[in-house]
Structure 1
Amino acid sequence: MDIQAETLITLVQERPVLWDKTEDVYKDKNLKLAAWREVCLILKPNFDELDEKERKQYGKQVSTKWNNIRDSWLKTVKKQKDESKSGSSTKNTRNYLYHEQLMFLKKVSEPRPPHESVSKKARTETEVGMESDFRSPLIKDKKN
């Protein structure tokens, strides 16, 4: 198995269905399979001539290689971000080997804004409901 990382990165970048979670097509499994098949055909021109087991095995190797590349880049970026937050100047993590080529992933690697937790929201609604019960004109004082 000799899959060139630079070529694989370029092929994946050209197919947003494989990486861009913001696109509607990202959710379409058939389009993803077709895109991975295209990538495999480019990386291994005789891909269609392989038997089904060999095709599946090669496809798995290609997607695993991609996942390893992407995950290594994400890990490095996160480590650099953590270092800059802590202000530690003693140890600077170098950029990942394919850092510049993988910058297209920045679009989908940014952390999501934090959402209010469901339990906190439920607790707040309950507390507000209890407060309104105490102020409700329907609640009569038992002294009357």
Structure 2
Amino acid sequence: MEFFPYDVKELFKQIESKPNLWNRSAHEYRNKEAREHDWKAIYTHFEPNFDKMNRLDQKEIGECIMTKWNYIRASFMRTVKHGPPTRRPYVYYDHLKFLLKSDVKAIDAPHLDNNDDTLEQIPEKKLKVSPFLDEDTEIF
């Protein structure tokens, strides 16, 4: 991966402040124009002269920031879902907890601390019952 010239923790703060980019229950989440506007605000935050740059430079900056975000978000969600590969927690876990609010139903992670205030109650998984089984059949 190429060098990322911006502060990733600041990127997390910027994205958290724009729920249209990460919260599926946000009013404008499905509005492409609203999301593009929010991404442009983030690009401008990191590159104050973003509006004055040519289209090629703007595209390069946008792709750099979005690619970094997508890699980090995917890695975080994989870690949450499957647990950390080692005993050490994910490096940006504390900074990305806000993502758990939007994707609680996708999380089935017994290793998470259930006392965490950022987590809502995780619904239990429903068992798929085969139509070929009787009601009295026990499933192991």
TM-score, normalised by the number of residues in structure 2 = 0.69
Which of 56, 80, 87 is equivalent to 1:53? 56
More helix by share: 1
Per the alignment, residue 31 of structure 2 pairs with: 28
Per the alignment, residue 108 of structure 1 pairs with: 102
Paired residues in the alignment total 111
- The whole-number CA distance in structure 1 between the counterparts of 2:29 and 2:100 is 16
Residue deviations 1:52-95, cap 9 Å, x none?
11111211111111111111111111222xx8xxxxxxx74421
What is the correspondence of 1:86-105 to structure 2 with a 5 Å cutoff?
A: 92-105=86-99
- The whole-number CA distance in structure 2 between the counterparts of 1:77 and 1:39 is 26
Q: Say if 2:3 is the partner of 1:9.
A: no
Highest CA radius of gyration, 1 or 2? 1
Per the alignment, residue 73 of structure 2 pairs with: 70
Paired residue type of 2:94:
E
Which of 14, 18, 22 is equivalent to 2:21? 18
Between the two structures, name the one with larger relative contact order (CA 8 Å, sep ≥ 6).
Answer: 1
- Distance verdict in 2 for CA 1:45–1:14, change over 3 Å: same
Unaligned runs of 5+ in 1: 84-90, 125-144
Equivalent position SS for 1:26: coil
Residue deviations 1:1-42, cap 9 Å, x none?
502110100000000000000112100000000000000000
CA contact 1:76–1:93 (8 Å) conserved in 2: no
Q: Say if 2:64 is the partner of 1:40.
A: no
Paired residue type of 1:33:
E
Unaligned runs of 5+ in 2: 107-122, 133-140
Give the share of equivalent positions with the same residue, in percent.
28
Runs of 4+ in structure 1 deviating by more than 6 angstroms, as ranges, are none
TM-score, normalised by the number of residues in structure 1 = 0.67
- The whole-number CA distance in structure 1 between the counterparts of 2:27 and 2:38 is 15
Equivalent position SS for 1:54: helix
